[in-house]
Amino acid sequence: MPVTKRDYYEILGVAKNASVEDIKRAYRQLALKYHPDRVSADQKKASEEKFKEVSEAYAVLTDEQKRRVYDQYGHAGFDQRYSTEEIFRGADFSSIFEDLGFGGSIFEDLFGGFDLFGGRGGRRGGRGADLELEVSLAFEEAARGVAKTVTVPRRELCMDCRGEGGERTTCSGCQGAGQIRQSAGFMVLSRPCPRCAGQGSVLKKACHACRGEGRIPVERKIEIKVPAGVESGMRLRLSGEGEGGKRGHGDLYVHLSVKPHPLFHRDGADLLLDYPVHIAQAALGAAVEVPTLNGHVTMKVPAGTQSGTVFRVRGKGLPDVHDGRAGDLLVRVTVETPTHLSAAQRRLLEELGHTLGEEAHPSRRSFLAKVKDLLTR
């Protein structure tokens, strides 16, 4: 059963008499909302479908001729006249994507590889592919920020042939159109030319430098500036550091992985630290030296502190990656029971135990009262 397409105006949420500027504004908002790189992994597939849908609507409604055909015949008549590539051909996405910071290579991924940014050039004539790289950081590097130099293997445009692969000649199969059209009743079907793979031209003599590929493999050293406060799973985008193409370089996406710290755990911009104290310190109170990421600070443990009590040391956490404000250090005190006692220590504890009454153990006194009440019901 064929899928019924939604109305293009409904998809973009604009009126049928909307201006091109209104359509562009609507598309900007929806492109930000549905771009696959801006959603979680479990939402990616659904987001890709939405992104394709709004992009197709934008391509049609911003083209005067296509919009006129669509308004007159609707989807049924329009889809008979235009293939997917023809729908997008000539559409101006570049200015919007530059404003939003998106790369155009998403169209190659979602729409099958033809060049949507300029005629029949195919992948050879398009923007270079985006690249991905994973960088591992020490906990302290992520906390303070760091500049790292990495080696990125990538392909760049061959300067000897300017990305053409060599000397080219017009394809005889499609006469340079890049498409083969076939009539089926009242319908006209269009498909990429199998002889030139939609290029419109074929290689006559291969370039010696790139052997007909149009690009050559290189390794580039790139400095990555990691801001303070990043955490595992975050991603940095380096514009123009991806692979080269005739319409410019793609982008490099750096995925960050932060190694755990032996002492600290993070909760957003806050740091968590478990700090052990002995019985005397907890009972009598003490001033203790607590480690931070920037040296030690003195923290006061009040007399009678119970195990599990959390103290907050202001401003000794991590900087927020967005606004730079420092989080706090949360110190959770753990009262340790001694396990290896000397004879003198054992004797002193036994004497202490004989002198302690219920008043010294308010939590235990409350617990025993509840047990006694339960047993007497």
At 275, the pLDDT band (50, 70, 90 cuts) reads: very high
Q: What is the pLDDT of residue 109?
A: 52
Whether 278 shows a pLDDT value over 80: the answer reads: yes
Q: What is the pLDDT of residue 2?
A: 39
For 145-191, how does the pLDDT look when each residue is reduced to its tens digit (9 = 90+)?
Answer: 999 999 999 999 998 988 888 898 999 888 888 888 776 555 556 67
Of 148, 100, 137, 142, nearest to 251 by C-alpha is 100
Strands across the sheet containing 252-258: 131-137, 252-258, 235-238
At 121, the pLDDT band (50, 70, 90 cuts) reads: very low
Of 306, 147, 117, nearest to 225 by C-alpha is 147
Q: What is the pLDDT of residue 35?
A: 78
What mean pLDDT is reported for the chain?
83
Q: What's the rounded mean pLDDT across residues 267-291?
A: 95
Q: What is the pLDDT of residue 203?
A: 86
**CA-CA distances (angstroms) from residue 310 to 31, 202, 274, 330?**
45, 72, 9, 6
**CB-hemisphere CA count at 13 Å for 165?**
14
For 200-240, how does the pLDDT look when each residue is reduced to its tens digit (9 = 90+)?
Answer: 888 889 898 888 888 899 999 999 999 999 999 888 888 88
For 305-361, how does the pLDDT look when each residue is reduced to its tens digit (9 = 90+)?
Answer: 999 999 999 999 999 888 889 999 999 999 998 888 899 999 998 888 888 765 556
Q: What residues contact residue 249 under an 8 Å CB cut-off, 6+ apart? A: 127, 128, 156, 240, 241, 242, 243
Q: Which domains does the chain have, with CATH numbers?
A: 1-119 (1.10.287.110), 121-152+219-259 (2.60.260.20), 264-375 (2.60.260.20)
Read off the amino acid at residue 291.
Answer: P
Q: Which residues of 321-343 are buried (b: 16+ CB within 10 A; e: fewer)?
A: beeeebbbbbbebebeeeeeeee
Residue 62 backbone class (left: φ over 0; alpha: ψ -120 to 50; beta: rest):
alpha
Whether 108 shows a pLDDT value over 60: the answer reads: no
Q: What residues contact residue 64 under an 8 Å CB cut-off, 6+ apart? A: none
DSSP lists the bridge partners of residue 189 as 182
Q: What is residue 218's three-state secondary structure?
A: strand
Q: What is the pTM of this model?
A: 0.57
Whether 111 shows a pLDDT value over 60: the answer reads: no
Name the CA dihedral angle for 347, 350, 355, 359, rounded to a multiple of 10 degrees: 140
**CA-CA distances (angstroms) from residue 193 to 120, 167, 182?**
11, 19, 11
